[in-house]
A and B are shown apart, each in its own frame.
Chain A
Amino acid sequence: DQQVKQNSPSLSVQEGRISILNCDYTNSMFDYFLWYKKYPAEGPTFLISISSIKDKNEDGRFTVFLNKSAKHLSLHIVPSQPGDSAVYFCAASGTSGTYKYIFGTGTRLKVLA
């Protein structure tokens, strides 16, 4: 099931700079997208979401952009902090009245001090 893809398994960024994490999806029926952050041996922690009627949503240092025509979303973290180091998952839902999330494979972000 490759409906949601995160093509970069890892990303390293200097503290204070921008982190950009990318996610692509194939199912045009998805209408709700989320980013979760996950530390080892913990559950996913919700960061930010966006519905398909928007193309941008901001919450503090986190901004999610949605490009429906390209079936692409991205998470921007500005400025990046060492505490942001974790695995980031994008998730999508909304196909055929189902509420389940389809997750990407994750991107491991390392913010260097």
Chain B
Amino acid sequence: EPEVTQTPSHQVTQMGQEVILRCVPISNHLYFYWYRQILGQKVEFLVSFYNNEISEKSEIFDDQFSVERPDGSNFTLKIRSTKLEDSAMYFCASSDRGRWETQYFGPGTRLLVL
């Protein structure tokens, strides 16, 4: 069964460093998403991406964040200068269509900023 994969599973970084989180969405999907879950809190939307551009972003997704689909398979989230409060689980998701379509989630990357 096709699944969303994410690497790395864990990432520890120093405050102020850049990190890139990688995702391989399900191959025929067209819509891509990043969500995050801070420990003990709800899963929250960061950004959606379609047709090689951002279709929507939340207020969390400020100038420190960027997304890219560098080739036909990978979808990346970059945090330029990490802050302590960026420590969270980051989930990538993909869906075949946009509306009324199930998003399938990857296993997540646990990011710890020291």
What is the interface of chain A, defined by CB distance below 8 A to chain B? 1, 31-32, 34, 36, 41-46, 49, 51, 89, 91, 93-94, 97-106
Q: A32 and B100: CB pair below 8 A? A: yes
By size class, the interface of chain B is 20 to 34
Q: Which residues of A contact B65 (CB under 8 A)?
A: none
Given the complex of chains A and B, what is the CA–CA distance between A10 and B108 in angstroms? 23
Residue from B91, B95, B102, B106 with most neighbouring chain A CB atoms (10 Å)? B102
Given contacts A100-B33, A103-B43, A105-B42, contact A43 B56 (CB under 8 A): no
Residue pairs across A and B with Cβ atoms less than 8 A apart, 21 shown, are A34-B102, A36-B105, A41-B108, A42-B107, A42-B108, A43-B4, A43-B105, A46-B102, A46-B103, A46-B104, A46-B105, A51-B100, A89-B42, A91-B43, A94-B99, A98-B56, A99-B55, A99-B101, A100-B45, A100-B48, A105-B41
Query: Which of B4, B6, B95 has a CB less than 8 Å from the CB of A99?
Result: B95
CB distance from A66 to the nearest CB of B (A): 14
A96 nearest CB neighbor, chain B only: B56
Contact A100 B108 (CB under 8 A): no
Interchain CA distance A89-B41 in the complex, whole Å: 12
Known A44-B43, A89-B43, A105-B42: A99·B98 in contact at CB below 8 Å: yes
State the Cβ distance, A73 to closest chain B Cβ, in Å. 15
Closest B-chain residue to A53, C-beta based? B100
Residues of chain A lying within 8 A (CB to CB) of residue B55: 99
Considering residues B45, B95, B104, B107, which has the most beta carbons from chain A within 10 angstroms of its beta carbon? B45
Could you say which residues of chain A place their CB within 8 Å of the CB of B45?
Answer: 100-102
Is B43 a contact of A100 with CB atoms below 8 Å? no
Residues of B within 8 A of A105 (CB): 41-42
List residues of B (60-79) whose CB comes within 8 Å of A's CBs.
none
Chain A residues lying within 8 Å of B106, measured Cβ to Cβ, are: 43
Question: Which residues from chain B contact A34 at a C-beta distance below 8 Å?
Answer: 102
The smallest C-beta distance from A75 to any residue of chain B, in angstroms, reads: 15
